[in-house]
Amino acid sequence: MKSIDKEMTRVLYKSRKILIVDGYNIINAWSKLKTISEEDLQTSREMLVNHVLEYSKIKGLEAYIIFDAYRVKNSEENIQKYHEITIVFTKENQTADSYIEKFISSLSKYDEIYVATSDYAEQQIALGKGCYRIPARELISDVSNAKEALRKKSSFKSKEYNSMNRLENKIDSSVLEKLEKIRRNK
């Protein structure tokens, strides 16, 4: 009877695909963002957020980016929504790793959870809790590949549309112009 109850719970619960990103860990592994962060940390954070936003949209993931405020005096936990991404700044004396570990524990076992970090200890914790790990280098590569695949798909659709057997592709441009004038006058 227990297995039937478990199966019914799984069916009733709509599992989510969740991406959890260790913000500063990924920034420091992404050479372009790391270089920018040395001059302007805020800009590098914004760039990471935008990359993750695009990636999560393409892949259909619910995304969370965790930035730690471990050494920031008197900082309180700050959670912000940016489009469909949740950005978390941890409180003073809390690392992103500890926040991620606690957050993973709060999620359903039916969720498909991906943790993006190159921190070996955090990867082991994520794996131990049944999550998928994505090393920083792999995330960076996946983001680039997903964007490129989307560009190719979009380009193909555009070419496909332009090569369709459409009237405007078959008639003289002056005739098309006259027809357009007639259409606009009605």
CATH (domain of 143): 3.40.50.1010
Domain assignment present for residue 2? The answer is no
What domain count does the chain have?
1
| The overall pTM is greater than 0.85 | no
Domain assignment present for residue 69? The answer is yes
Domain assignment present for residue 168? The answer is no
What is the per-residue DSSP string for 54-123? HHHHHHT-EEEEEE--TTSTTPPPEEEEETTEEEEEPPTT--HHHHHHHHHHHS-TTSEEEEE---HHHH
Domain assignment present for residue 115? The answer is yes
Domain assignment present for residue 186? The answer is no
Domain assignment present for residue 184? The answer is no
* Per-position pLDDT tens, the chain of length 186: 556 565 555 567 788 999 999 999 999 999 999 999 999 999 999 999 999 999 999 999 999 999 998 667 788 889 999 998 999 999 988 899 999 999 999 998 889 999 999 888 888 988 888 899 999 999 999 999 988 888 887 765 565 556 566 667 677 888 888 888 888 885
Domain assignment present for residue 183? The answer is no
- Give dist(CA 176, CA 44) in Å, integer: 49
Full residue range of the structural domain in which residue 62 is found = 14-149
